[in-house]
Amino acid sequence: MSHFTTITTQVRDVEVPRTAVEELGLELLENASARGYATNQIKGELVIRLKGPYDVALNKNPDGSYGLTTDWWLGHVEREMGAGFGRLLQLYGVHKTMIEARKRGHFVRRQAHQKNAAAKCRLRADSPVKEASEKCAGREA
């Protein structure tokens, strides 16, 4: 019996998850197998090796986005990645914003807010400072 579930995402830039995974203190493997319940495994173009017994597989969808597949059994993955991959997706958004802003010549400064797990990026250009905030609902740092 398979416990694996895939969540469709808007992750498209494969280099950005690398930096997000690194910030989480985890390892990103290429063309590996993700661990699941008992001896279940699933192949992944990319696999996030978690500290617990299960992993996350990333496989490209026909539209170019990546699906995130894992075994949610007993909350092992949720403890490391947040509900619905919240921590990973939040960091993906932060890193993608910073990369794109720098490509456009903006100065970027990042602040983390420990109380509500929000991430704030300040972008400075020739115009006044613009702020973009992203909050991961239901998660405390």
21-34 pLDDT per residue, tens? 999 999 999 999 99
Q: What is the pTM of this model?
A: 0.78
Domain count, the chain: 2
For residue 104, the SS3 value is: coil
Residue 141 is assigned to a structural domain of this protein:
no
Residue 135 to residue 116: CA distance in whole angstroms: 8
Same domain, 63 and 96: no
Q: How many CB atoms lie within 10 A of CB 35?
A: 22
Contact yes or no for 56/68 (Cβ under 8 A): yes
Residue 112 to residue 133: CA distance in whole angstroms: 10
Same domain, 80 and 98: no
Same domain, 37 and 59: yes
Tell me which residue range forms the domain holding 117.
Answer: 91-134
Same domain, 126 and 75: no
Question: In sequence order, which residues have a C-beta less than 8 Å from that of residue 20 and are 6 or more positions away?
Answer: 88, 91, 92, 94, 95
Same domain, 64 and 99: no
Q: Where are the alpha helices (DSSP H) in 1-141?
A: 15-23, 76-81, 86-103
Residue 114: predicted pLDDT: 58
Contact yes or no for 7/77 (Cβ under 8 A): no
Task: Give the model confidence (pLDDT) of 108-122 as tens digits.
Answer: 888 766 566 666 767
Same domain, 34 and 9: yes
